[in-house]
Amino acid sequence: MLCAVNEYRCRHANIVFASDRAALLVLDMQEYFLRTELHAYIPSAAAIIPGVRLLIKAFAASHRPVIFTQHVDTSENAGMMALWWKDLIHLEAPESKISAELDVSKGAVIQKGHYDAFYETSLENVLQAGDVTQVVITGLMTHLCCETTARSAFMRGYEVFLAIDGTATYTEAFHRAALLNLAHGFVMPMLVEEILSAFEEMKN
């Protein structure tokens, strides 16, 4: 997969990550997906937490926007999500909370009710206020909310970067398919280490 992804990156070498123009999106890192006893548990989700924490720290230290999304639904706004999944994440449920392993005080929390973090939220206003032209996408799930938000950001004119090892989903097949599709037409895939290195270079 990395070979194919690198091929797409080489085609778009003119799109370079610039830490001073970027915002970090941390999508849906909620207990609903992280607790082993829950039916929506994603086994690989915990593995991305250390990298996401480092990215949060780097963006916050450089005074760049960090936006956490919290997926919550009501029967009024869920739309097709309710029909498709037959299970809503309600705000009052303990599992709706963003993982305590991530410091949400380092950024803003935006609630959303659909895959697309831009849909009927204040996300674009927050990005515009922060003079953002690039977004880095991390979190859950690679092939649903991460992929849909990446496509939406692209259509809004943002340069989109997706953290290969900072996103996760239920299976490796879903993860690989999403990365290949996005790398072909929408995002520049990067490793967490590469993004962190860009911040270090800015200091020197």
Structural domains in the chain, sorted by start: 19-102+111-203 (3.40.50.850)
CA distance 146 to 167: 8
Give the Cα separation of 165 and 45 in Å (integer).
10
**Contacts (Cβ under 8 Å, ≥6 apart) of 137:** 25, 27, 146, 149, 150, 153, 160, 161, 162, 163, 167, 187
Read off the tokens for 48: 């991305």
- Amino acid 8: pLDDT: 66
For each of the chain's 204 residues, which pLDDT tens digit applies?
555 556 766 677 788 999 999 999 999 999 999 999 999 999 999 999 999 999 999 999 999 999 999 999 877 787 787 778 778 888 899 999 999 999 999 999 999 999 999 999 999 999 999 999 999 999 999 999 999 999 999 999 999 999 999 999 999 999 999 999 999 999 999 999 999 999 988 776
What pLDDT does residue 6 have? Answer: 67
Report the amino acid identity of residue 37: E
Phi, psi of 123 (to 5 degrees): -55, -50
CB 150 within 8 A of CB 182: yes
Q: Torsion-angle region of residue 48: left (phi > 0), alpha (psi -120 to 50) or beta?
A: alpha
**What Rg do the C-alpha atoms of the chain give, in angstroms?**
16
pTM of the model: 0.93
